[in-house]
Each structure stands twice: as C-alpha cells, then as structure tokens.
Structure 1
Amino acid sequence: MIAATTLSQSCQAVMRNKFSIPTLSLFSGAGGLDIGFLQAGFDIRACVEIQPSYCATLKENLHSLAGFGPTTQILNQDIRNFDTRPFRKMGIECVIGGPPCQTFSAAGRRAGGVIGTEDERGQLFTSYFRILQELRPKVFVFENVYGLPGANGGGPWREITSAFSKLGYTLRAEVVDAADYGVPQHRERLILVGYKTGEFEFPIPTHGPDSANQSALVSVEDAIRDLQSANEPFHDKLGGMYGHLLPLVPEGLNYSYFTAEMNHPEPVFAWRSKFHDLLYKVCRSEPCRTIKAQPGKFTGPFHWKNRHFTIAELKRLQTFPDEYELVGSYTSVLEQIGNSVPPRLAYVIASSVRDQLLVQKRRPEFSKRQPGFQSTFRQRQRLRTKEFEKRASAAIAERYGAIRVPAERPKGKPVESYFFTPANLFDRSMVSERGEAKYTVAVAERKTHISIKFKALEATQKNAFSLEIKGLKKYLPHFDTLNVEGTADKLEDIFHVWATIEGALKKRSRFFTLIDIYGHYANRGDTVKIAGEWGFAESGTILRAANWLTSSENCGDFVDLKQFASLVKVKETSIPSLIEKLRKIRFDCRSSLTHPIIGEGRLICTYPFPLLSPRALVESRVTFSQREDEFAQVQA
C-alpha cells in the first residue's frame, strides 16, 4: 500500500534529465498528464492550451521541482492555429494529450446526446492528426473518456483510428481504471498509444486484484491521512435543500440511500432521480469515485466528516504533487483538478511507453500484460453495488430498527382551498379574498387519489384543461393517482398549474421537488406516467406543441425535427421561435440552437412539465434571432 507521504514523494521524482525525450503536449489543461511524463523522463518542449486560467497554472510551475523545465514553452492558443514549424528541428519523439471530451462523455449524453465528431470540439482530433503528420513523432499518447469507442455506434472512433492508422501508426487502445494504478480514485479513461516501430502492451495493474502482487488499492485515507486532524468534529452545516441529509448518508453511498429501492422507510428521492454524485460520501477505506470538474453544492465526493474536501486533499486524490501550484479561484482550481489526468496514472503509461518503445529497457519498470489478460474492474463495480446495498440495510436497521412501522398518512387537511396572485413565475403570493386573486385552488383527497381544481379567474370556460398522473404509489405510499382540471387564461398558467401540483405532492410526502418524484429524464424507470390536454386563449401551434409535450411518452428522448414539425403542424423554419416560447415558460426543450452538442435535425424535451426551480437554467444561452437564418439554411 502506498502511504500518503510515499505517494507525494513518487510525484516529485522528476527524471527528465536522465532520458530527455523531446515531447510536445497538446490540450495540456492544468498539466496532469504532463507531470506523469515529466516524472518518466520526457522533456516537454511546449504545452499548447487554449484556456488562459490553465496556462496561468502551467506558467506558475515553470522551473519548479514538481513542474516544467526552463526550456518549456507555454502557448496559450487554439490548437487549430498551432504552427509546427518552430518544432520540426527539435526532434519531437512523442506527442501527448487528449481533445476536450464533452462530445463523447457520459455527462454530454445526459446533457442532450453525443454527436462526437459532428461537433466542432469533436473535430479537434483533426488538428491532432495534422500535427502528427507534420512532426512525425515516433509515438503519441491520446487520452479521452471511456465512452468514446461506443459513441454514436462507434462511428467517431472508427473515423479517429482510421485517420491515425493512415499516418503509419500501429494503435493499441485500452480503457483503464486509475485506481488499478495507484490512484486513490476510480476514474476510467481511454488511453490510445500509437507507434511507428516496435511492440507495445499496456502495463499490468500495479494495485488491486489484477496486480501481480495483489497490492491493495490506495484508499482515500491512505492518500490524505497526514492532512487530517484527529480533533476535527463531524459537520452538519452544509445547508440548502438537501444539506441536512448528508450526515445520514453511510460512507460510500449517495442520495440513493434515501430511495424505496434501498428499502428506506422514509424515501425522499425516486430511483435514479439524480446523478450518482448527489450527496456521495466517500468510504475512507476505499478509493473514491471520479472527482468532477464542475460540482454543485450537493455534489460529492464529500469527506466522511460531512464536508467538502479541501484543495490540498483533492490534489492528493488526483495525485498532484503537493508542491504543484494550481492558480485561480476555488471554483477554477476545482475545475482544473477535475479535468486532469491523474499524474500517477500518466506516470505508469509514460514509463511503459518509454521502456517499450523509446528507450527499450530489458527490464521495464512496469510489467506488461500477458496474453489473455482480462481486467476485472467492471465486475468489481457490480460487486461494490451489492456492498452498498448491504451498507444501506445496516444503516437503516440501526436507525429505524428491524421492524418497519408503516408511515402514517400525512396529517394535512383532506380538503383545502386557497387563492393566490403571482408577481412572477416564482412568487405565488397568497391572498385571503377571491376579489384580490387571479387564481383559486382546491385540493381534495379520496382514498388513494388526489384531486385538484385549478381556476384562472380571468379565463373563460373554453380554456378548460385536464392532467392526470399515475404510478405515485411507489413513492407516496398513501396515494397512487392525481388529476387536476380547471381553466387556464394564458400560456404561463402551465407553470402555475405544475407549481400547484408540486406543492400538493410535497405536502403528502417527504420529497423535495417534482423531479425527485418523477425521476431524472436520462435515467428514470418510467414509474410515474403523465398525460394531459391544455386549452388557452393562445391556440394554434403553441397549443399543439404544449399538448404533445405534456405526455411522459413524448419526453425524455430525441425526436426527429421533421417528425416533430409534422406532429405539431408547424414549418421546420418556425421551430426556433416555437422552442423559444416554450423555454420562456420553462419547458426544457432542447435543440442544436440551445445545446450544440445535440447536433442538427433533432429535438428533445426533458420533462412533460416546466422546470419549477428558479436555479434551473432554461432560458436560452443563445440569441435565437442570430441563428434562425443559419438554422433555416441547414434545414433547407
């Protein structure tokens, strides 16, 4: 097992003067991949990075023991503008780096789909290809997300590997878990090694069950033990909507501890209603899950004492040297750490490339995988899931006892009514008199059914609507169905109706939001079904679109724009303005105009209801009028 001090010392063992392999770093980020190659004896002549904040970190570490040498150039520029001519006489033997991965990543899929090389970021590999073609290094190391080979049916991956092969490189690719190479973090990355001559085999894991000596994985506590205070208390001050839940989460678990699927007697989340990092608390005796670049307030990993990790601790978990300076605000430094390749993993790969392809040592520092080797880290993931279920059961038994007492029916009024007048979408001011109100609401319970009457007092009868929700019983044990009917006056009333529904459900459960009950669109198990039909004074296209979207069957997956245009009887060139109207009332309707990663020709609406939280970003980040002409040209 690698102790924290040994881990830090290994990151400081810079060996570049021993071998001095001329190397070019592309998409350098904060330098995680570079540090590992420097430690293995590669002389990085230049780092090419477009982000000024990352370049500030790279420059801060020039001339330092843990960083770059005096000859390293830090080039803050777009790789598409990179001029290779000054480097052609340097004898560059190795090129390293991986293009931005959003277009192929799991996060990208959840955000709206993966279009891979159709997106301009996915096309950055062509600049990588150009640089290899012009410098002709002996070897290159291309790093990216583990989902790249399977994205879009493997098409982008075949395009990328075919381009590299045409330059005369033999390719070896492998998805590895950084924890198997001494990193106290489970982090899966795709490593592609291309070489002109020789043979290359990936190194056998240095840690874990697949390692030659069965060395234990490096745990979180191993990595940061000397940074801990024995007198530090357990914390309970995270605050916010979910902060009070964190102290209750057992080590190694996340929000799913509070689900019916984990047999929690008082569930507050639907299964897969959130990303798996929500309220994720590390198990100190194991590696942690992947550190994220842009975490939210409730996004883990959290320390076992119920707090966020410090920067010094996160550097250890990512295996950055203690002496390596990360420049910028707390948020910027978090992003730099989360977007980096762990230097320890980079060192193992770099040493293997050095010993097998460039220096060709008889006894390489890291043993090669033998024919027939099969990694088991994916199987171990499934075993960890079973272990998490056991931990949840033990924690529930300790807190609630072995005998489950059925939850009492909520003691709220079985019939309630009120008036309100909204100042805006998020401010529902209650009023006591009908004459002061714009809306009236009546909620009634009958057995397992919730009935809501909603009336816009300025509306006419022809603007009647009705909605129905089924499948609530799994999450609201005393209620299974809900229906709401009444009259609406204008398009914005859709938002107020759904805010009323959310309020009624929250009063009758321990859930916090409507999405917590419905489930996240990218992962939900389709337990809750929604259908309805709206009527407004505003009729025509917007009414047809709203009615089509107010169905769980039509949301959460992609639809072809031509198909959508036909279904709602609208011209394709009018879709941008229609999406803009829908987003103004906070329907999370996405196309290439709002989320370029989606690509042209398709659309997705994530939920059959508006996003009710003011923190949810729904308003478009682009000006529709600036791109409508472009959109029309593409569709034509």
Structure 2
Amino acid sequence: MNVLDLFAGAGGLSEGFRQEGYNVVAHVEMDSNAALTLKTREAYYYLKSQNQISIYEEYLLKKITREELYSHIPVGILDKVINDEISDDSIENIFNTIDELLDKEKVDMVIGGPPCQAYSVAGRSRDPLRMENDPRNYLYKQYIKFLDRYKPKYFVFENVMGILSAKGGEILEDIQNEMTKAGYEMDYQVLNSKDFGVLQSRKRVIIIGWKTNITFEYPQFTQDITIETIKNLFSDLPAIKAGEKKEPGYFYKTRRIIDHYLVKSNIRSKEWRILSQHEARPHRETDLEIYRYCVETWNNEGRKVKYDELPNRLQTHKNTNTFLDRFNIVNNNGISHTIVAHISKDGHYYIHPDIDQNRSITVREAARIQSFPDDYFFESSRTAAFKQIGNAVPPLMARKIAMKFKSTDT
C-alpha cells in the first residue's frame, strides 16, 4: 500500500511501515534537521536496493559529504521529503508536490501525528493560558484535509496522552466529528510501546480510522512483553565516558551479535558493521558527582534519588519542593522510562546505569531504546539528533501496527 507520512519527524512511524514493505510516497515535515534525516534515510533505502550500500557507509565514516551522498540519489527520491509547515498558506503547494510524486497513483493510507506540545499536560501546566490559543491545537484539521484530498482507505493518527483531556475533551470529540464528516469511522486506544517488544515504557494515543464502506475494526494487539533488559540492549556497545565518542567505524565489542534481541527487533542486522553516533555529551564535575551518587544509591538500595535527598553541596537549585525527579537512571535490569525531547537539553533524566562510564546515554543508546536500527542516521548535530529521537514513534511499535493492516487489507 502507498503511505503518506504527515508531521513525519525523524520517520519512526514510517520506518515501521517501511520495514513491513509499505511504499512511503512522501514525508511532510517542517523541521529542517528532521527533514534531512528523512532524506538520508531515503538515500539508505535507495542505495540498499541498488546494492550500493557501501556509498552510505562511506558517508557514515565521513569519507564523503552529505552533498556527495545525495548526488548518488535520483532527485525524485529526495523530493519525497517535503520540508514545509502544514498550514493554510502552504497546503496547496504541498498537495501539488504530492500529486506529482504520485503520478496518478493513489494513497492507501495516511499516517502521522501533529506536534504534541499543545496537547501535552506538561506544556499546558507551564502556559498561563494553558495553551488555549495555541494554533497547534487545531493541526488535526490540516490532517483531515489530506483525508479529504486523497481519500485513503485507512489512517493512523498518533499523539500524546494529553490529547484525551485537551480543552476538557473537546478536541478529541471534534476530531471524531470531523472524521465522520470526512467519511471515516475511527476508534482509539492508549497503547504502550513496552507491550510491542520495545524496551521502553511509552504510552501514546493511537487513533485508527477507516472508510465507512470498509469492513474493519480496531486491531487487537497481543502483548509482546520481552524478558530482555537494557543490559541486553547495550551489551555490544563499547564503554565510553562523559564527553567521549567513538568516531564512526567498526567499534562493536564483537563482530558477532551477542544478543538475539538486537536481531529480532531489527536494531542490528547481521550484515551491518558500522557503529555511529555513539557519543556522550560532556558534563560538569558537579553533575558527574550527582550521577555517581544516584547510581550508587540505585545499586546499593534499589531506589532513585530525589533532588532534596542529594548532599547540600550538590543542590545547586533553590527549589527543593517541586520537580524532585530531576535526575533519573535508565534501569539496567529492566526497561527504560519514556524518552522525551527534553533529552536534547540535558541528560540528567537518562543517566547510564554503568557507574564506571558515569555519564548520560549517547545518541545511539537513546535511538536503540526507541528501537531505531543502528543503520539509522540522525542529522545534523547531537542536540538535533536527541530532539528527533525523543519526539519519535518507536519503529518496532509502528511495524507491529502496520502488520495489522497487511493482514486485513484486500
């Protein structure tokens, strides 16, 4: 089926569908860094199809520039990434670009989720107007315009839990009404990525819709709860300290994949050899001491440290009454808590469990927690990469959602 990817971000949702053999006809994304990531991913898939993956490897190894990489890719492939904001002013131009890419083919499915800040409970709590006037509250209306235009059989609409309570539930009710007017039935569930084999607890609202003339109902998902842990997930990655990085190369601990979960989840294939973006941000000495204190407490007592429990000399913030969970450890013997975009600002909430490494997690470790393959490269900087990863849908979760449509489509 042909899939149109809206509000695409770094492509986590479309990656899952693509792994299941769907054809992504276009991605629409306003963030320039995420759009470059999508183009680089398109380059990867094209070169792989042409048995020229060595060119992509040369790019990761910094032997060629991004421009040189793209020079090997047909313009029509790169044009599938539309770097534009979806708005009343831009939508006709976006439609025209997609129409050219389709070349009279049809769109079978629309996937994506509008930016979630306006629905975020945390975002509303910080805004004195509770984001009542934020135009992002209504980006779902732009999404529906694509349904009206291309009339796909199905759609998948992903968003944060806050969409259920936004404006007292009015937003969700209006989405339901607008979808009905557009000719679709819809249903939603709160799904957690950990139930799809992802080593992360991440709850999201997944709305699924289908044209009223199609016999379909919301899929039933069997829980795929894995016994694997973060320890398994990081098992083949070399140890590094704060501020260190492994330049892209053949730096896995062993060429042979030690843990079967990495293969089962498509994180590391048997053919893939290059480790990239395994770089840790630098930290102040005070933060490193806090990290060590938190990991020692976790190892010795099995509990996480609240900010007001730190030694006084390590408490640099005056506020010791709220936001006490400023520092958090990724559980080595279980699954991770939710990776969010704030990881781009600091790593305090994602402390590596190995006290000898004493740092926050790397870009590659964050990507693995989100179930991105190791051959996935995030443009354009470490900060941009963390933001993209934190905003993404886990590809492994997306893939298992995609499977349900393949099994029911006729």
TM-score (norm: length of structure 1): 0.47
Residue 148 of structure 1: how far off its partner (Å): 0.6
List per-residue Cα deviations over 1:230-263 (Å, max 9, x = no partner). Answer: x989x9x843654422212134754427549xxx
SS at match of 1:283: coil
Distance 2:375 2:161 in 1: 30
Hey, what's the Cα distance between the residues in 2 that align with 1:272 and 1:68? 53
Confirm or deny: 8 A CA contact 2:5 2:111 kept in the other structure: yes
Aligned partner (choices 52, 57, 60) of residue 37 of structure 2:
57
Cα distance in structure 2, aligned partners of 1:77 and 1:265: 48
Give the structure with the higher percent strand: 1
1:235-274 equivalent positions in 2, closer than 5 A: 238-239=283-284, 242-249=287-294, 250-251=297-298, 254-256=304-306, 258-259=308-309, 273-274=322-323
The equivalences for 1:90-101 within 5 A come to 90-101=105-116
Q: 2:388 aligns with which of 333, 336, 354?
A: 336
Give the drift of 1:46: 0.5
TM-aligned CA deviation for residue 301 of structure 1: 1.0
- What residue number does 1:220 align with? 230
Structure 1 residues 272 and 89: CA distance shift in structure 2, 3 A: farther
Deviation string 1:272-317 (CA, Å, 9 cap, x unpaired) is 62263x2111110111111121334352211012311122211111
- CA 1:143–1:126: 2 relative to 1, 3 Å: same
Which gives a bigger RCO, structure 1 or 2 (Cα 8 Å, sep 6+)? 2
1:282 is aligned to 2:330: yes
- RMSD, aligned CA: 3.0
Identity of aligned residues (%): 30
Does residue 301 (structure 1) correspond to residue 301 (structure 2)? The answer is: no
Flag the 1:256–1:23 CA change in 2: closer, same or farther, 3 A.
Answer: same
Q: Quote the Cα distance in structure 1 between the aligned partners of 2:172 and 2:304.
A: 33
What secondary structure sits across from 1:121 in the alignment? helix
Q: CA separation of 1:272/1:243 partners in 2, compared to 1, >3 Å: closer, same or farther?
A: farther
**Whole-angstrom CA distance in 2 between matches of 1:272 and 1:117:** 28
Rg (Cα) greater in structure: 1
Distance 1:320 1:110 in 2: 31
2:362 alignment partner, one of 302, 307, 310? 310
Q: Is the 8 A contact 1:141 1:193 kept in 2?
A: yes
Structure 2 residue 209 is the aligned partner of structure 1 residue 199: no
What is the alpha-carbon distance in structure 2 between the residues aligned to residue 88 and residue 79 of structure 1?
21
Change (3 A) 1:232 1:49: closer
Q: Using a 3 Å threshold, how does the CA distance of structure 1 residues 115 and 297 change in structure 2: closer, same or farther?
A: closer
Which of 112, 115, 128 is the equivalent residue of 2:143? 128
The alignment partner of 2:209 has SS state of: strand
* Structure 1: distance between partners of 2:352 and 2:366: 10
CA change 1:113–1:253 in 2 (3 A) is farther
Report the Cα distance in structure 1 between the residues aligned to 2:337 and 2:48, rounded to whole angstroms: 29
- 2:91 maps to a residue whose letter is F
| 2:125 corresponds to 1:77 | no
Which deviations, in whole Å up to 9, do the C-alpha atoms of 1:382-440 show, x marking residues without a partner?
Answer: xxxxxxxxxxxxxxxxxxxxxxxxxxxxxxxxxxxxxxxxxxxxxxxxxxxxxxxxxxx
Q: Distance in 2 between matches of 1:155 and 1:102?
A: 17
Q: Which ranges of structure 2 fall in alignment gaps of 5 or more residues? A: 50-73, 245-281
* Conserved? CA contact 1:108–1:114, under 8 Å: no
Q: Distance in 2 between matches of 1:253 and 1:200?
A: 43
Residue by residue over 1:433-459, the C-alpha shift from the partner in whole angstroms, topping out at 9 and shown as x without a partner, is xxxxxxxxxxxxxxxxxxxxxxxxxxx
How far the C-alpha of 1:56 sits from its partner, in A, is 0.8
Q: How many residues align?
A: 324
**1:141–1:194 contact (8 Å) kept in structure 2:** yes
1:145 aligned onto 2:145: no
Task: Please state whether the residue corresponding to 1:300 is helix, strand or coil.
Answer: coil
Q: Letter of the aligned partner of 1:76 in structure 2?
A: N
Q: Which amino acid aligns with 1:246?
A: Y
Name 1:528's counterpart in structure 2: none
Show CA shifts across 1:58-111 (max 9, x none): 111214249998765111112222333514832101000000110011331232
User: Residue 342 of structure 1: CA displacement?
Assistant: 0.7
Closer, same or farther: CA 282–153 of 1 in aligned 2, 3 Å: same
Cα deviation, 1:446-495, whole Å, max 9, x if unaligned, reads xxxxxxxxxxxxxxxxxxxxxxxxxxxxxxxxxxxxxxxxxxxxxxxxxx
Q: 1:130 to 1:201 in 2, by over 3 A?
A: closer
User: Which digits, 9 at most, give the CA deviation of each residue in 1:530-585, with x for residues without a partner?
Assistant: xxxxxxxxxxxxxxxxxxxxxxxxxxxxxxxxxxxxxxxxxxxxxxxxxxxxxxxx
Name stretches of at least 5 consecutive residues in structure 1 with no aligned partner.
1-20, 209-214, 360-636
CA–CA separation in structure 2 for the residues paired with 1:322 and 1:24: 24
Which range moves more in the overlay, 65-74 or 43-52? 65-74
- 1:609-624 aligned at under 5 Å gives the runs none
**How far off is 1:323 after superposition?**
0.7
Q: CA deviation at 1:221?
A: 1.6
SS in structure 2 at match of 1:25: strand
Structure 1 residue matching 2:216: 3-state secondary structure: coil
Comparing 25-34 and 119-128, the one that deviates more: 119-128
The offset of 1:266, in angstroms, is 11
